[in-house]
């Protein structure tokens, strides 16, 4: 009986060892600091170091900004797998982490997660990126003032050629500005609550910056009827 159990354990161990993969690339990939909007590429590689063919069932990603493709899914012992990954950083700022997960048909091989991290930055930034004001009471005679700052981290002057909004309740000043390199400009946002309800108002700043010819600043408002006194 003991010999049978021992034989079974050895057989199970050999079966597990027969399904092994070894990664040639790290499971945490730091892609560094890049300009927002860049599309980054990387190749995940692993070797089938076991004694049986390994079958890749699925490659999963965490969002639509990340794509992973491979032309093969079956890898004989000794074969090297290559999975091409691309990450689109458009719309992301600061630390960005995305995960690619490899799923195998073999139960002995657990899902393998590869994490990519990158720090997208922008040369032209708006802070805050949007305005959100709640519990504003209807009063055409009241003027609510907010500010946003546009910073220029490029190596040349940035020209704000014009500013427009899609609702006369919101006005912006100044309408034009020149922001020199490594400087910022403060814009005053004036809001006059003339009608009730939820409002999604957009501000557009037209610039001479090639990759960002139009800066959009959303303004979210909830204008309520003033309570009776």
Fill in the DSSP letter of residue 23.
Answer: E
Which among 44, 69, 114, 125 has a CA at the least distance from the CA of 92? 125
Q: Which helix (H) or strand (E) holds 205?
A: strand 197-207
Q: To which residue do tokens 């597990």 refer?
A: 16
Chain Cα centroid distance, residue 147: 26
Domains of the chain by start residue, with CATH: 21-121 (2.60.40.10), 124-224 (2.60.40.10)
**Which pTM value belongs to this model?**
0.66
- The pLDDT assigned to 196 comes to 87
- φ/ψ of 195, rounded to 5, equals -135, 150
Strands 28-35 and 112-121: parallel
List the beta bridge partners of residue 214: 206
- The pLDDT assigned to 11 comes to 44
Tens digit of pLDDT at every position of the chain (229 positions): 544 444 444 444 444 445 689 999 899 999 999 998 899 999 999 999 999 999 999 999 998 999 999 999 999 999 999 999 999 998 898 899 999 999 999 999 999 999 999 999 889 999 999 999 987 888 777 889 999 999 999 999 999 999 999 999 999 999 999 999 999 999 999 998 888 889 999 999 999 998 889 999 999 999 888 766 6
Rounded to whole angstroms, how far apart are CA atoms 50 and 21?
7
H helix intervals, 44-110: none
- φ/ψ of 20, rounded to 5, equals -135, 145
């Amino acid at each position: 009986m003991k010999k049978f159990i021992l034989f079974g354990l050895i057989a199970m161990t050999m079966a597990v060892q027969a399904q092994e993969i070894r990664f040639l690339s790290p499971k945490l990939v730091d892609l560094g600091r890049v300009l927002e909007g860049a599309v980054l590429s990387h190749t995940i590689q692993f070797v089938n170091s076991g004694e049986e063919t390994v079958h890749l069932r699925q490659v999963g990603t965490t969002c639509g900004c990340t794509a992973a493709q491979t032309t093969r899914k079956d890898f004989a012992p000794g074969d090297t797998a290559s999975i091409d990954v691309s990450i689109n950083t458009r719309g992301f700022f600061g630390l960005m982490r995305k995960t690619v997960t490899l799923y195998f048909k073999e139960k002995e091989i657990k899902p393998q997660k590869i994490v990519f991290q990158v720090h997208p930055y922008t040369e032209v930034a708006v802070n805050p990126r949007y305005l959100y004001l709640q519990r504003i009471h209807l009063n055409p005679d009241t003027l609510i003032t907010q500010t946003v700052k546009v910073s220029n981290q490029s190596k040349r002057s940035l020209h704000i050629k014009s500013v427009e909004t899609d609702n006369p309740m919101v006005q912006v000043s100044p309408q034009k500005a020149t922001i020199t390199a490594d400087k910022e400009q403060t814009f005053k946002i004036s809001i006059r609550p003339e009608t009730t309800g939820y409002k999604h108002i957009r501000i557009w700043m037209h610039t001479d910056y090639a990759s960002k010819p139009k800066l959009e600043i959303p303004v979210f408002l909830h204008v309520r009827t003033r309570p009776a006194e």
